Amino acid sequence: MTTTPATTAVDARTDTAADPSSSLLVRACRRSQGEGLPVWFMRQAGRSLPEYKRVRQGIAMLDSCARPDLVAEITLQPVRRYGVDAAIFYSDIMVPLKAAGVDLDIVPGRGPVVAEPVRDRAGLDRLVPREPGDLSFVTEAVGLLVAELGATPLIGFAGAPFTLASYLVEGGPSKDYARTKALMVGDPELWDDLCERLATLSAHFLRTQVDAGASAVQLFDSWAGSLSAADYTASAAPHSTRVLAAVADVPRIHFGVGTGELLGLMGEAGADVVGVDWRIPLGSASERLGPAYAVQGNLDPAVLGAPWPLVANRVREAIRSGASAPGHIFNLGHGVPPETDPDVLARVVDLVHAEGPGIRADALTP
């Protein structure tokens, strides 16, 4: 399948006089999209694209995030290839910690690894600064992107305090977050101090992107689904609320994995849009959330490897289910898997654009 239509589509979006605040994505976030349906993909800028692999060759992940020219190029790649309705700022949730001086690395095949995990008060004071570091490279990269994207909105993003804390406490990725939850319950004062500092870093990271021109933001609380509703309410939500409050002037998307029982709480933390993974239909998610929130999602990323007719049917099902929400942004239920065929994503975008409005209109007809 050719990608020429998507490539030429981006040319029409580079009118710098255009205002992304009237884009389909922003209207969907504001619950006023009508029958149109915007689409973008989490992790669209990155590992599944051959052009990404070429420009990243020999460059460490965190180093690539600190080069404005490279950040701009990688962020734009999926917009050029697919014609998606939004760009997502290419970075990593650990970047603000690295900028603030935390000794960490992104290890290929494993993820973020922290040299000295935070397990006690001394570890907190040693590792997590009270003030954010210099993010001038972020400001420069966003400026380059906004000038190039024109009417296409740029989504800024950051990691939520709970998810960032889980990496710092565990020292890296975890299957059960046992150390994290033990610290959270066993030393709530230390936990709150840790999350307050992380909230400061994440809020500054988001605010920097918005001040430079991002039109919306997404807060990733990727691992919040490991918490009960009671623990989320007491120990995670207040810190996410502080982060989201710092960027209340733009639409805010709040996303986590396995958070079906937390959707309402994640909305109440300060979101305009709640991201939904593939475990719950969008219509059911919207019923839980109520009319004050749009939804985002939620094709299972694993389905992308199935035969196209099955992928297409799942896409249509998600569109149909999402039509009952007051706003819907089509996306995956998590990030693009690295082995995904880019042509499949291109076909998904084409299907959403071609059939999405009709499917929504039919679903909304009494």
Write the DSSP symbol of residue 176: S
The set of residues, in sequence order, having a beta carbon less than 8 Å from that of 142 and lying 6+ positions away, is: 89, 154, 156, 208, 209, 212, 213, 214
Element (H, E) at 160: none
- Sign, Cα dihedral of 322, 323, 324, 328: positive
Q: How many CB atoms lie within 10 A of CB 358?
A: 12
Distance CA 140, CA 151 (A): 19
Burial 195-220 (b: 16+ CB within 10 A, else e): bebbbbbbbbbbbbbbebbbbbbbbb
How far from chain centre, in Å, is Cα 215?
A: 13
Active-site residue, 92 included: yes
Active-site residue, 43 included: yes
What one-letter code names the amino acid at 29? Answer: C
Active-site residue, 47 included: yes
Q: Where are the beta strands (DSSP E) in 102-225?
A: 104-107, 111-114, 154-159, 216-220
67: left (phi over 0), alpha (psi -120 to 50) or beta: beta
How far from chain centre, in Å, is Cα 228?
A: 22
Residue of 30, 31, 47, 320 marked active site:
47
Residue of 90, 167, 232, 293 marked active site:
167
Active-site residue, 167 included: yes
Alpha helices in 57-135 (DSSP H): 61-65, 68-82, 95-99, 121-127
Residue of 30, 31, 56, 279 marked active site:
56
The set of residues, in sequence order, having a beta carbon less than 8 Å from that of 365 and lying 6+ positions away, is: none
Residue of 13, 27, 43, 197 marked active site:
43
What one-letter code names the amino acid at 281? Answer: P
Q: How many CB atoms lie within 10 A of CB 269?
A: 27
Residue of 30, 92, 105, 279 marked active site:
92
The residues assigned a catalytic role are 43, 47, 56, 92, 167
